[in-house]
Amino acid sequence: MIYLDNAASAPVHPKALAAAMPFITENFANPSSAHTLGREARLAVIEAREQCAAALGAQPEEIYFTSGGTESDNLAVFSALSVGDKHKIITTEIEHPAVLNACKELQRRGSDVVRISPDGEGIVHAEDIAAAIDDDTAMVSVMAANNETGAIQPIADISELCRQKGVLFHTDAVQAVGSIPLDMRLLEVDMLSVSAHKIGGIKGAGLLYARKGTPISPMIFGGGQERGIRSGTENAAAIAALGAAITEICRDIPERRRRLSRLRDMLIVKLEKIPHSRLNGSRTERLCSNVNFSFADIDGEALVMSLDLIGVFASTASACSAGKQHRSHVLSAMGIDKKWLDGSLRLTLSEHNTEEEIVTAADIIAECVARQRKG
C-alpha cells in the first residue's frame, strides 16, 4: 500500500497514541469528576492545552478544544457576527466547506458575505481583501493553506491589514500546521483553527485559538466546559493525543519541509512527464506535502479507483465532503480551463512516505492514465 492521502487524514503518531491510550483503557473517568481518576484526566487536558499553546506561540487560556476543524471554523465564523453590530464577513472562494457553508448559513440569516477570488495559482491577494473591507466588516477569514492545491496564502499581510483596519482575522490552519510556522506572537491572527487527525492525532478533536480579548460566543450549550465556550464532556483521549501530535509535528518544521519538499518535487517532475498534464497551484508558495495534477481527457474519480485497485491511495480534489463527488470549487475559482477540471488528482505526503514509494506511485499513475486514455 502507498498512502498518498495525508491531507484527508494522516497516520496517528505513536506518541499521540501513547498519550491517548490511558484515557481509553484504565482511566475512563470524566475530566470534571472530583476523584483521583477524574483529576488525572483533567491534568491530561491541562497538559495538552499547554502543549498546543506552546506549539502555536499562544497562551493556554487562548486554546479552546473542539471536535475538529469543522467545529473550530464554525465557532470562529458564527462568533464574529454574533458579537457587535457589524454584518459583513469577507472570505475566499477557495475555503473548505466548513467555512464556506457556515458563511452561506450566515447569509441565509441576513449577513453580507463577500467571497474573494484567487489568482490562477490559487493565491488570494491582500489588495483584494483591502478593497472589500468597509465599516460594516466584522471579520475576514482566509485559510493559511489550501487543502486541495496546497497554495500557501499571504496570511501575515492579510492579518496585518485587518489589524490596521480594526477587523477580526480568522485563519483555517488545518492543512498548514507543521508545514509553515504559525507563531501567534508574530502574526496578527485573532482566531485560528486546527484539526487533530490531519497532524498525527485522532479524529474527534481540534482546537480554536482565540487571542485574549477576541469575542467568541458558544454554539453548544451545556455544562460549561472550555470556559463556557464549548460545553460537553472533554474527549480526554483525543485531546491528549492532539497535544502530543502538535508538539511532534511542530518540533522541527524546517527539517520536515526539507524532507517532504524533496519528495514532493520528485513526484512533480515525474508526473509532468505524463503527456497533457498540468500542476495545479503555485509551484513556489506550496505546502511541502501537496501535489495536485490534472490530466486532460481523464476522469479523476475513475483514476482514483484504478489506483486504489493497485494499492495507491489518493483523492481527486479533496476527501472531506462525505464521499460527495463534484468538480473542484477551488480549481474552478482559479479559472482553470474546463478541460482540466475533471481529471484532477491530489497526492498528499507525510513523513512515512519514502523515495521508493514516490517512484513506484508515479509509474503506476502514468500507467493508469495511459490505460484510461486508450479506453
**Residues designated as active site:** 320
Q: Would you say 92 or 214 has its CB closer to ligand PLP?
A: 92
Q: Binder to ligand PLP among 79, 92, 171, 175 (CB under 6 A)?
A: 175
Instruction: Check binding of 147 to ligand PLP (CB under 6 A).
Output: yes
Torsion of CA 7, 196, 179, 170, to 10 degrees: 100
Instruction: Check binding of 171 to ligand PLP (CB under 6 A).
Output: no
> What's the closest the beta carbon of residue 276 comes to ligand PLP, in angstroms?
28
Only one of the segments 132-140, 169-177, 240-248, 256-264 lies at the binding site for ligand PLP (rule: CB under 6 A); that segment is 169-177
Q: How many C-beta neighbours within 10 Å does residue 112 have? A: 16
Instruction: Check binding of 218 to ligand PLP (CB under 6 A).
Output: no
> What's the closest the beta carbon of residue 74 comes to ligand PLP, in angstroms?
9
Instruction: Check binding of 195 to ligand PLP (CB under 6 A).
Output: yes
Q: Binder to ligand PLP among 174, 199, 216, 244 (CB under 6 A)?
A: 174
Only one of the segments 64-72, 301-309, 323-331, 344-352 lies at the binding site for ligand PLP (rule: CB under 6 A); that segment is 64-72
Site string for ligand PLP, 262-301 (x = CB under 6 A): ----------------------------------------
Q: How many C-beta neighbours within 10 Å does residue 308 have? A: 11
**Cβ-closest position to ligand PLP:** 69
Q: Would you say 320 or 368 has its CB closer to ligand PLP?
A: 320
Q: Binder to ligand PLP among 31, 69, 122, 300 (CB under 6 A)?
A: 69
Instruction: Check binding of 6 to ligand PLP (CB under 6 A).
Output: no
Instruction: Check binding of 206 to ligand PLP (CB under 6 A).
Output: yes
> What's the closest the beta carbon of residue 69 comes to ligand PLP, in angstroms?
3
Q: Binder to ligand PLP among 5, 44, 63, 68 (CB under 6 A)?
A: 68
Site string for ligand PLP, 97-136 (x = CB under 6 A): -x--------------------------------------
Instruction: Check binding of 96 to ligand PLP (CB under 6 A).
Output: yes
> What's the closest the beta carbon of residue 294 comes to ligand PLP, in angstroms?
19
Please write down the HEC assignment for all residues of the chain: CEECECCCCCCCCHHHHHHHHHHCCCCCCCCCCCCHHHHHHHHHHHHHHHHHHHHHCCCHHHEEEECCHHHHHHHHHHHHHHCCCCCEEEEECCCCHHHHHHHHHHHHCCCEEEEECCCCCCCCCHHHHHHHCCCCEEEEECCCECCCCCEECCHHHHHHHHHHHCCEEEEECCCCECCECCCCCCCCCCEEEEEHHHCCCCCCCEEEEECCCCCCCCCECCCCCHHHCECCCCCHHHHHHHHHHHHHHCCCHHHHHHHHHHHHHHHHHHHHCCCCEEECCCCCCECCCEEEEEECCCCHHHHHHHHHHHCEECECCCCCCCCCCCCCHHHHHCCCCHHHCCCEEEEECCCCCCHHHHHHHHHHHHHHHHHHHHC
- All three cell numbers of 73: 471554523
Residues making contact with ligand PLP (CB under 6 A)? 68-70, 73, 96, 98, 143, 147, 172, 174-175, 195, 197, 206, 320
